[in-house]
Amino acid sequence: MKVIRAKSAGFCWGVERAIKIARSFADGGKRSVFSDGPLIHNRQMIQNLEAEGIRDIGDYQSRKPLEESLAEAGDAVLVVRAHGVSPQRREYLKGLGAEFRDATCPDVGIVAGKIRKYARAGYATVIFGDRDHPEVIGLLGYAEGRGFPVQKCADVEALPPLGDKVCLVSQTTMFTDDFQVIAECLRRKYTEVVVLDTICGATKARQEDVARLVASGAEVIVVIGGHHSANTCKLADLSRRSGIKTLHVETAAELSEADFAGVQIAGVTAGASTPEFLIDAVCEKLVAMR
């Protein structure tokens, strides 16, 4: 079978940077490194990192107090993952007694800075994103108590009175077309709306690559990544929207030849948290299929 692999498949630079930071302090397992919530939303990569002395001790949303006492953990390092945290959470983590390192993706940091700027200028903040996602939870902390997550136009209609000044930003991993729809809904409801497209370049590249796979003749698209990874699930959803058969798998073991009966060309892409070794294994298995 011919396999076309998306150029953007695999780690985004923010995830790669966070892993690099954590590994630099772990020093091959010589030092304990803890993350506030899973450093990466991929089970196989988490297992590899744990073998190197890097493990998470927080909850997925970075909301609960940490159960482990870091003051007694010697020279341990506490790392903020790529999704970032609220200013309040950051101060809490800094006070736990461990060396503190911030691995927030710079793209997420830029969004936080924009929210803070407009919030201090009197704007209410509307965030297009999943209210339960750790990135959105962290970003809401910069909105001066006037932040409102939305996912569809019905959510916009349900917003309380926000005054005339509204700023719209996006979770970095959302769909561009959906963001524009939300922007139009807000413009119809509020007098002054500042629209800031904060969807990151890596996300846009993945979305564009799905269209390229379809245009290149892919009859099936395989999306690789954790079933609990938000950006991977969105990528699989985007592929399905194109009308093409889509398989979302975590590993090559989930692939069956029956799923590719009569298929000559398969497209492969992967979420921002998917390591290279998993993508390689999927491509190798597909190429070997008859």
CATH number of 13-105: 3.40.50.11270
Q: Which residues are catalytic?
A: 135
Does the pLDDT value for residue 74 go beyond 90?
no
Query: May I ask the CATH class of domain 2-9+204-288?
Result: alpha beta
For 82-92, give one letter per residue: b (16+ CB within 10 A) or e. Answer: bbbbbeebbee
Cβ atoms within 10 Å, residue 257: 13
Contacts of residue 28, Cβ cutoff 8 Å, sequence gap at least 6: 52, 53
Average pLDDT over residues 28-50: 92
* Helix, coil or strand: residue 153: helix
Radius of gyration, CA atoms only, the chain: 20
Q: Where do you find CATH 3.40.1010.20 in the chain?
A: 2-9+204-288, 107-195
For 113-134, give one letter per residue: b (16+ CB within 10 A) or e. Answer: ebbbebbeeebbbbbbbbeebb
Specify the pLDDT at position 71: 61
CA 277 and chain centroid, separation: 20
Band the pLDDT of 67: cuts 50, 70, 90.
confident
Specify the pLDDT at position 73: 65
Query: 115-128: per-residue pLDDT in tens?
Result: 999 999 999 999 99
Query: What one-character DSSP code corresponds to residue 250?
Result: S
Q: Where do you find CATH 3.40.50.11270 in the chain?
A: 13-105
Q: How, if at all, do strands 99-102 and 77-80 pair?
A: parallel
State the pTM of this model: 0.93
CATH number of 107-195: 3.40.1010.20
Average pLDDT over residues 180-197: 96
Cβ atoms within 10 Å, residue 105: 24
